[in-house]
Amino acid sequence: MTSQPAPAALPADFPRGVALLHDPLLNRGTGFTEAERRAFDLNGLLPPRVLSMQEHAARILENFHKKPTDLEKYVYMSDLEDRNETLFYRILIDNLDTMMPIVYTPTVGQACQQYGHIFRRPRGLFISARDRGHIADLLRRWPNDDIRVIVVTDGERILGLGDLGANGMGIPGGKLSLYTACAGIHPSTTLPITLDVGTENPTLLDDPLYIGLPQHRLQGEAYDSFIDEFMQAVTTRFPDVLVQFEDFANHHAFALLERYRTRYRVFNDDIQGTAAVTLAGLLAALRLIAAEGGPRRTLAEQRLLFLGAGEAGVGIADLVVSAMVAEGLSPEEARQRCWFVDSKGLVVRSRADLAAHKLPYAHDHAPLSDLAAAVNELRPTAIIGVSGQPRTFTRAIIESMGCHNERPIIFALSNPTSKSECTAEEAYTYTNGRAIFASGSPFPSFTLYGKTYNPGQGNNAYIFPGVGLGVVVSGARHVTDEMFGAAAHALAEQVTDDDMAAGRIYPVLSRIRDVSAAIAAKVAEIAWREGLATQPRPDDPERAIRAYMYDPQYTPLV
């Protein structure tokens, strides 16, 4: 197993003076000791007082809380990351409840919408349609050869916000921040990439400050050959890399995953990560019901109704089906327990307008026009919103779920918060506090009838960092669906009795590095067991995984 980068012996060309202060991976500002200031020609370039990391962090947090809007807080933290990555990650890890909604969803959605207007400093690589035939040359310009995780987007379907083109770069950067904060992947080994193939967003095409190509998107063979060139070039340049596809539109996401999943080390977080975090929530919800004295039900006994039949919904259903099969159902029986409503109503076999990815879940049933009719007719035990359409879980629908179920499971997973199918307050209020609720973006605690409810956040950050860590430490050649199933069960197992007592179906964020380590261990074991690993299995895998995880500290340089 390859260890994380460590500054044991400094190279002869280690930067000095101003060059050192301008390197965000090495700079520690007023945290440089007096000995380091003398050794690296920093005296006079910094104020004379040396501050500890804790003192340095206190100053950052004081200014952070003075910012009047979340977007300004996002910009402030981005500037810190550009100056001092060690301090950025120390603050992020120690204040994850506060920082994750800023550096990632929901604020990152607004940041992407305004990306060209708040642009400060380029991070990662922008590879555009104009670079066709020369992508390998661009990748050679990246200074670090040891890249282990890449998050890449083409910006066509950013969260629930649609086509944001090159402005979508905020998503790969945010995801990789969570790889480091939540799973300890060293930031020097990560690389965000945006594939700028154009945009169909008229607002961006007319915006003089848009940072991307002001042209329509590549389509068909031109698009496919561009992605093929990228995948071949990036895996040649970085042979140990894991590539995470992020926020590609449905018509590309499924095809790209199927095309590359057995050729390269890739996965699609919108399909597979969302599936795993949702499956974990369902398993934990069933545990919660039983822990409260309710009936002990298996996953195979549930009837799920999805609003939205895109990559997230179908990805969830596919993984749920695999879990139901493991509980004894046949694949056909398991699929019969998963139903979908899309923009045209219930997905049924008689419809002639269904895309290929919906066909396995097109059942024999009379057409139904909308979600409300489907809830009343099918009486699901859980509704799962992945539609990107806000407030579509109406009061009538939520009350209907409460009529049919003692503990209705209501997952409103669309991001950002403005796109959520309902609020936590609505779910609890319209079921008299009986709902088991989870959302994609955070909602605050809510008190009803004297009881405080702690909404679960079914955020993919509980899954993809740990999966990535397990793939990296084992050197798995491919990322399999079995790994995501194992990740889901590992996450559900991390929900403690205290979590259950508080009504939570996901662990508290303060424990997310422990959660990621547990997931990584399960994923790595699959790689070793199935002969997919390129790194030898250590005698104590869990200890080795913990040792690999980066912990941001000001370690002495001299």
- For 363-451, where are the alpha helices, taking DSSP H only? 371-378, 395-404, 424-429
Active site members: 104, 175
First vs last C-alpha separation in the chain: 28
Q: Three-class SS of residue 439?
A: strand
- For 424-551, where are the alpha helices, taking DSSP H only? 424-429, 464-474, 481-493, 497-501, 512-529, 541-548
Q: Three-class SS of residue 343?
A: coil
Q: Which of 307, 338, 314 is nearest to 325 (CA)?
A: 338
Q: Which of 378, 362, 358, 360 is nearest to 370 (CA)?
A: 378
- Residues 386, 392, 394, 397, Cα dihedral to 10°: -50
Question: Are 338 and 306 within 8 A, CB to CB?
Answer: yes
Question: Are 123 and 82 within 8 A, CB to CB?
Answer: yes
For residues 521-552, one letter each, b for 16 or more C-beta atoms within 10 angstroms of the residue's C-beta and e for the rest, the string is bbbbbbbbeeebbebebbeebeebbbebbbeb
What is the distance between the alpha carbons of residues 66 and 80, in angstroms, rounded to a whole number? 15
